[in-house]
Amino acid sequence: MHNTMNEQQIKALVSLLDDDDKEVAQLVETEIRQQGGKIIPYLESEWESAGFSPSIQQKLEDLIHDLQFKLLRERLTNWYNGGSLDLLEGLWIVATYQYPELAIEKIRADLEQFYYEAWLEFKPDMHPIDQVRALNNVFFNKLKFGSNTKNFHSAGNSMINVVLDTRRGNPISLCCIYMLVAQKLNLPVYGVNLPNLFVLTYKHESAQFYVNAFNRGLVFMKSDIDHYIAQLNLKPNETFYQPCTNLDIIKRVLRNLIMAFEKTGDTHKVKEIEQMALILNES
């Protein structure tokens, strides 16, 4: 075990990052990395201190990012090993890739507010289609959620905090927020993994129909999926009609992110997201 360092020791170490002796600089870097996530706040305050050369600032930025990314991978591994039970936690972990300071409590509070808005207009004894209409009214008219068609491939569409703030997202992020609110209202609403599109299903022993959150909560039926699949020249598959798992959802979010970073030519980020996807593909 490595002893926890105090602030003075960390300051002394950071000052050696720029040592002319490459071997010393390398040893210092290794020592900092071995301190783990707890050293991040100290590195951040050192970064903010004036008087550092741009090369030290760059080294600090890289170290901070690497330590934060290591922490993210640990969280993702724990989420996966714990059975991927909490979808919101999975979405939060993904968002901390770009927003490492993001607190899960902030997202929970935002969703709680949306749930409250929906609950005010909601009557549990409504017909299922009317329940969805009531939720659509809150979600798309009152809260003004909508599809981000202008920047469809933006990485922000996969970050739940960005979608909650801007009220704009891609099919899967809008479906996730819609579904999390619906499930808090005790509605049997789940995600469905369609090719090239993510939708929701309202599935109860008495009824099953589908909802397209990317198209303002449009309600459609199984026959519409049959038609869609036929248009794509694909063979019907049970997964196109039935609820998918939280793990399936987060895997798909990561695939979207990889595509977003490929489009901006950010190969380093593509590689890191692929590392995250690998953690979830161990099944």
What are the 10-residue block averages of pLDDT along the chain, 283 residues in total? Answer: 64 68 74 75 71 74 88 96 96 97 96 95 89 95 91 90 96 97 96 95 93 94 94 92 96 96 96 97 67
The DSSP-derived string for 244-274 is PPHHHHHHHHHHHHHHHHHHTT-HHHHHHHH
pTM value? 0.88
Q: Which residues contact 259 (CB under 8 A, 6 or more apart)?
A: 153
pLDDT of residue 20: 67
pLDDT of residue 9: 73
Q: Which residues contact 244 (CB under 8 A, 6 or more apart)?
A: 190, 191, 192, 193
Task: Give the distance from CA 185 to its chain's centroid.
Answer: 22
Contact 115, 185 (CB under 8 A): yes
Q: Which residue has the tokens 């920047």?
A: 151
pLDDT of residue 4: 66
Give the integer Cα–Cα distance in Å for 139 and 235.
Answer: 34
Contact 176, 87 (CB under 8 A): yes
Residue type, 180: L
pLDDT of residue 16: 66
Looking at residue 38, the DSSP 8-state letter turns out to be: G
Task: Give the distance from CA 33 to its chain's centroid.
Answer: 26
Residue 205 sits at φ, ψ, to 5 deg, of -60, -25
Q: 68: burial class by Cβ within 10 Å (0-12, 13-18, 19+)?
A: middle
Residue 19 sits at φ, ψ, to 5 deg, of -60, 140
What b/e string do you get for 118-132 counting C-beta neighbours within 10 Å, with b at 16 or more? Answer: beeebeeeeebeebb
Give the integer Cα–Cα distance in Å for 215 and 219.
Answer: 9
pLDDT of residue 153: 82
pLDDT of residue 27: 80
Beta pairing partners, 208: 203
